[in-house]
Amino acid sequence: MWFVFALICLLGWGFADLFYKKSSDESDRYSHLKIAVWVGLVMGVCALAMLPFSETGLSPKGILINAAKYAPASLGYIVSMVIGYAGLRYLELSIVSPVQNASGALSMIAMLVYFTVTGRIASIGEEYSALDFIGTAIIVCGVVALAVVEQRLGREERRRLQGAAEKTAERKYRFGALALLFPLLYCLFDTVGTAADGIILDEETGLGLGEIDVLILYGLTFLLAGIAAWIFLWIKTKKPYNPFAGRELVTKGAAALCEEFGQVFYVYAMARRPVLAAPMVASYCVVSVILSRLILKEKLKAQQYACVAAVVAGIVMLGISEGLGEA
């Protein structure tokens, strides 16, 4: 079932990216923190609702102990996501998402190194077929190629607009290459989070945390981060931020719900096949790119479509391999 879980996750996170972009306001310097408040709110509520279903019966003391164990993954994710929200203020979704999600390939490499050091690489090889590795390699190459293409097209677009008189165009690309630091930093921190998740959730070498417990710990940690962001906004703007006001409720609420929906299936996919699930889940950037074309009307070129086709082909291969394995 890991393949189905990963597929649902990448659809959920692809739509989350769309709503994150629609929630981003270039004129609001705190737009990214307001999104973090909403994500923390939704994840926190879901975590509290899951507490009665904890596999280990998490007590207050147990929550603190396990939160410390899960801190490398949760903090890596939270930092990366807030950085990603900030990047969407300055860059197109079709540029940001592929660059960010090169983390799927990097985290897979990090996990393979870890499993090699711990002596589990032989058993990992036995679990996966040649079709799994071929499909994964195609997905990784497609995502990385898409990130490279997006960076090149972004540079070309900025050069084209250098002499433009429109203030909106100037504002949108005023950070130039500096704006690309946002998705690159996201990629770095998300690599740490995903690799840590793969190790923590691994059934043989993990920390013994169940999937529901991980969702609870991550949700509660993000709730604290959301509260911290809300307090910071209150201090800086001199008035409390109301996340339920008008458009905030629609766009940011939808983004947070899609994020949590994808998170649930992500955890179950990573618990079963972390090495394969990480790059496949990262390919949700393909969904983001397609949605940016269909809904945000961002233009795509032939190279982008070719990269998308490669990723889809890799996912199909993993699906075929999973089907053969079940048979």
* Residue recorded with tokens 């991550």: 218
Q: For residue 206, what pLDDT band results from cuts at 50, 70 and 90? A: low
User: Residue 12: which of 275, 207, 259, 307 has the closest Cα?
Assistant: 259
User: Residue 260: which of 28, 103, 48, 34 has the closest Cα?
Assistant: 48
Whether pLDDT at 65 is above 70: yes
DSSP state letter for 283: T
Instruction: State pLDDT tens for residues 257-301.
Output: 999 999 999 999 888 888 788 888 888 888 888 888 788 777 777
pLDDT score for 249: 85
pLDDT score for 188: 85
Helix extents (H) in the chain:
2-23, 31-50, 60-87, 93-100, 103-117, 121-127, 130-161, 167-172, 181-201, 211-237, 247, 253-272, 274-282, 284-294, 302-326
Whether pLDDT at 221 is above 60: yes
Enclosing H/E stretch for 24? none
Q: In percent, how much of the chain has pLDDT > 70?
A: 81
Between CA 297 and CA 295, with CA 180 as vertex, the angle to 5 degrees is 15
User: Average pLDDT of 64-72?
Assistant: 80
* Distance, CA of 206 to CA of 320 (rounded, Å): 28
Amino acid sitting at position 145 = A
Q: For residue 8, what pLDDT band results from cuts at 50, 70 and 90? A: very high
Q: For residue 157, what pLDDT band results from cuts at 50, 70 and 90? A: low
pLDDT score for 261: 96
41-50, 64-73, 114-123: the lowest-pLDDT one: 114-123
Instruction: State pLDDT tens for residues 135-149.
Output: 888 888 887 887 778
Both tokens of 203, joined, read: 């059934």
Whether pLDDT at 220 is above 80: yes
pLDDT score for 326: 53
11-20, 29-38, 82-91, 228-237: the lowest-pLDDT one: 82-91
Instruction: State pLDDT tens for residues 84-105.
Output: 888 877 776 666 777 777 777 7
Q: For residue 166, what pLDDT band results from cuts at 50, 70 and 90? A: very low
Instruction: State pLDDT tens for residues 235-261.
Output: 999 999 998 887 778 889 999 999 999
